[in-house]
Amino acid sequence: MIGTLRGELIDRTGGEVIIEVAGLGYRVTVSPATAVSLGELGDEVFVHIHHHYREDDQTLYGFPSREERITFEALISAHGVGPALGLAILGVHDPAGLQTVLATEDLAALCLVPGVGKKTAQRLLVELKEKLDLPDVDLTAVSSPATGGGAAELHDVREALSGLGYAAEEIQAAIKDLPVDGDASVLLKQALQRLAVNS
């Protein structure tokens, strides 16, 4: 079983890269963010690998960190979560962000993932809480929607941006690191300013 690869990046097409190691080219499936972060063709790259076996196929999935690989493996062990959905979830929420989503039971944040509706998000919350280690999450700075705290305001901001037609990735980038104790209208204005700068 392959655990890591270090070699030369020789090709990048869509969600796949080819890494040449000692004359062998390994096809590795990666998220769009990982594909970009690996650098230029010809660069030496290092990725953590999940070697996925099926009856008729083997696929290598590559990640920039061990933590992301472990999170991916926890995701695909949940019922109904295949590798494609696991990559999609990590494409919207990094491991730390996903831990916070689960700890605060933020359904709206999970629904930002393409292909995840409310029912799927509810099921994922239950299953993933059991599979992902949550002790490192600092909940003192994150309020639960049930208490009417900051997560509820961020939920409102997400809903508003979604209603304006912004994509999940744009929304996630716009609300990242926004203060959790702010007024929803102020937070929305800040998010829109970020989107305007990045457009």
2: pLDDT strictly greater than 80: yes
Distance CA 50, CA 53 (A): 10
If we measure between CA atoms, which residue out of 199, 198, 175 comes closest to residue 187?
175
Burial of 146 (0-12, 13-18, 19+ CB in 10 A): exposed
Q: Quote the CA–CA distance of 137 and 10 in Å, as a whole number.
A: 38
SS3 assignment, position 62: strand
Tokens of 176: 């990242």
Mean pLDDT of 157-180: 75
At residue 195 the predicted structure's pLDDT band, cuts being 50, 70 and 90, is confident
Which one-letter amino acid corresponds to residue 4? T
Predicted TM-score (pTM) above 0.85: no
Residue 55 has pLDDT above 90, yes or no: no
Report, in angstroms and rounded to the nearest whole number, the Rg of the chain calculated over CA atoms.
18
Q: What's the pLDDT tens digit per position in 101-145?
A: 888 888 888 888 888 888 888 888 888 877 776 544 444 444 443
pLDDT of residue 154: 72
Q: Is 48 helix (H, G, I), strand (E, B) or coil?
A: strand
pLDDT at residue 141 in the model: 41
Residue with more model confidence, 19 or 56: 19
Q: Which of 32, 77, 24, 11 is nearest to 50 (CA)?
A: 77
Q: Which residue has the higher pLDDT, 184 or 137?
A: 184
DSSP string spanning 81-108? --HHHHHHHHHHS-HHHHHHHHHTT-HH
Predicted confidence band of residue 62 (pLDDT cuts 50, 70, 90): very high
Run of H or E residues at 49? strand 44-54
Give residue 7's pLDDT. Answer: 96
Average pLDDT over residues 2-21: 93
